[in-house]
Amino acid sequence: MRLLRSCVLAIVVATALAGTGAAAQASDRDRFVGTWETAVQLPQSATGLTDQTERAMIHATIGGRAVRVRLSNVFGTGPVTFSDVAVAARAAGAAVVAGSSRRLTFGGRRAVTIGAGQQVVSDPVRFRVRPEEDLAISLAAKGSTGPATLHSLAVATSYVTAADTGDHAADVTGAAFTTTIASWLFVDGMDVVPTDESASIVAFGDSITDGFRSTFDANRRWPDDLARRLLARPEDPQLSVLNAGISGNRLLTDSPQFGVKALDRLDRDVLDQAGVRDVVVLLGINDIGQLPHQFDPNQIIGALRQIIARAHARHLKVFGATLLPFKNTTIANYYTPQGDVTRQAVNQWIRTSGAFDGVIDFDRTMRSAADPLMLNPAFDSGDHLHPNDAGYQAMADSIPLGLFRRS
């Protein structure tokens, strides 16, 4: 069986690397598995890049023998052109490992123009990725990009060169990358051709999934911690964990700052991800906290039912995570007693309805023994809403790994 699996995977890799056009990429989608993802948002500034290079630093979950990269201009106001795109192993800071850089092509061409409202996927390229490896994706913008489609809260440092300094995508040193940023611009995801029959789990959530208040540049979000637990299992195949959290995101209402509502980004950020098999949903607290008088439990439950139905239609398993306590949060006007009644009603439905394929009870894990409406002080980052590193680890540790299918 292992020999047959290796032969099949060898054929898959050869087929994937033979394709260069958009049609070939689409037909190869199911042979790839996502190793890293971020959920893109509306631009936060009227300007983006101008004849300069971004070096986005990402952290892979599972490894593979070939990669492709997804770029997004979904929220752009006009076409964006990149004259050069490269992937490399990170050394330190903005520097990459000498000899590791691979230029990417799009339909066989080095330059790519992405229309407003569009995303593109690179041609596959042979590139060895190790599990939990730090990688650099470098994008050389030609001309002005206009407002940048981005992920605002990366909890990680990336780099850009000065405006009008041109193409530095192939640079080994980080000398030209003189500015640090805490967001990912235009970069949307990376898929790998794995060495076994791997699959991916998507964590679909808000700031608590995004890792707000976790340690910067340390990969201490709960999806990172879950990925490490999964990788530590001796059995194969391995499962990647893709982070589709957006800070402040809501189920039912769009926000210029916090992204389009979860129901409208579900296809792009979850259902269309390569190799996705399971979904963990942790959403609803911002519907309660940001708009406490507008939403009742049935509206939130109705949105969760829609997510379940759409995921089940794609033959995915969906696991519901209960909403964490938030009493006395320092966010002004966020907590109300009535809002907490709504939270508890939603949690009761998640636990007892049977609508999900399984339940992950983050509320029970994270609440204080002295006051169950508050976060456990040992897990509290200080704002009484978001966990600290220990809290995110406790969340990941509470998830039964047996929930997730291997084949």
Same domain, 209 and 176: no
Same domain, 250 and 352: yes
CATH of the domain at 105: 2.60.120
Is residue 2 included in any domain, yes or no? Answer: no
Same domain, 158 and 269: no
Is residue 16 included in any domain, yes or no? Answer: no
Same domain, 71 and 143: yes
Domains contained in the chain, number: 2
What's the rounded Cα separation, in Å, for the pair 248 and 369? 27
Same domain, 213 and 122: no
Same domain, 182 and 210: no
CATH of the domain at 258: 3.40.50.1110
* The two structure tokens encoding residue 204: 């679909």
Is residue 344 included in any domain, yes or no? Answer: yes
Distances in Å between the Cα of 198 and the Cα atoms of 207, 268, 352 are 27, 21, 31
User: CA-based angle 231:60:35, to the nearest 5?
Assistant: 85
- Which residues make Cβ contacts (< 8 Å) with residue 219, sequence separation at least 6? 59, 156
Same domain, 148 and 248: no
| Full residue range of the structural domain in which residue 245 is found | 196-403
Same domain, 390 and 272: yes
Last residue of a domain, one of 123, 156, 190: 190
Indicate the pTM of the whole model. Answer: 0.92
Q: Running along the chain, 407 residues long, what does each successive block of 10 average in pLDDT?
A: 38 42 40 96 93 98 97 97 98 98 98 98 97 98 97 98 98 98 98 91 98 98 97 86 98 93 98 97 96 82 98 98 97 92 97 98 98 98 98 98 79
Cα 181 versus chain centre, distance: 18
Supply the pLDDT for residue 27. 42
Supply the pLDDT for residue 24. 36
Same domain, 177 and 202: no
What's the rounded Cα separation, in Å, for the pair 264 and 48? 25
Question: Residue 176 is which amino acid?
Answer: A
Is residue 95 included in any domain, yes or no? Answer: yes
What's the rounded Cα separation, in Å, for the pair 300 and 287? 8
Same domain, 209 and 128: no
Supply the pLDDT for residue 293. 61
Supply the pLDDT for residue 13. 44
Same domain, 167 and 244: no
Is residue 104 included in any domain, yes or no? Answer: yes
Supply the pLDDT for residue 19. 40
Is residue 1 included in any domain, yes or no? Answer: no
Q: Angle at which helices 297-313 and 337-352 pack, to 10 degrees? A: 30
Supply the pLDDT for residue 407. 53
Is residue 265 included in any domain, yes or no? Answer: yes
Same domain, 276 and 385: yes
Last residue of a domain, one of 171, 190, 209: 190
Is residue 49 included in any domain, yes or no? Answer: yes
Of residues 48, 55, 43, 51, the one with CA closest to residue 139: 55
Supply the pLDDT for residue 15. 41
Last residue of a domain, one of 190, 212, 235: 190
Contacts 24+ apart (CB under 8 A), 392-395: 392/211, 392/214, 392/220, 392/221, 392/222, 392/224, 392/225, 393/220, 393/222, 393/225, 394/365, 394/366, 395/222, 395/225, 395/362, 395/365, 395/366
